[in-house]
Amino acid sequence: MMTSSELKHFSQRKLSGKYGVTIAVTLTVFVSNLLLSMIVQWLVPPDSVALFFAYTVVVFLVDLLFGLLVSGRTYLYMNILYDREVSFADLKQGFLEHPEKAMFLQLPFALAGSLATTPVEFYQIFYYNRQQADRNMLFLCMLIGTAGIIVSVILELVFSQVFYLLHDFPEKAVPDLFRASAKLMRGHKGQYFLLLLSYVPWLMLSAMLFFIPALFIISQMYAAQTAFYQNLTGRK
List CB contacts of 191: < 8 A, sequence separation 6 or more.
1, 4, 228
The alpha-helical segments, DSSP class H, found in the chain are 4-15, 19-43, 49-81, 93-96, 99-126, 135-158, 162-168, 174-184, 189-197, 200-205, 212-233
List CB contacts of 124: < 8 A, sequence separation 6 or more.
none
Taking the C-alpha atoms of residue 77 and residue 91, their distance in angstroms, rounded to an integer, is 10
Q: What is the pLDDT of residue 236?
A: 62
Q: Which of 67, 75, 66, 104 is nearest to 168 (CA)?
A: 75
Query: Is the pTM value of this prediction over 0.85?
Result: yes
Taking the C-alpha atoms of residue 110 and residue 67, their distance in angstroms, rounded to an integer, is 9
Residues of the chain with pLDDT under 70: 129-133, 235-236
Q: What is the pLDDT of residue 234?
A: 81
Q: What is the pLDDT of residue 135?
A: 79
Q: What is the pLDDT of residue 223?
A: 96
**CB atoms closer than 10 angstroms to residue 45:** 12
Q: What is the pLDDT of residue 46?
A: 84
Q: What is the pLDDT of residue 50?
A: 87
Q: What is the pLDDT of residue 132?
A: 59
Q: What is the pLDDT of residue 129?
A: 66
Q: What is the pLDDT of residue 209?
A: 87
Q: Which of 99, 83, 89 is nearest to 167 (CA)?
A: 99
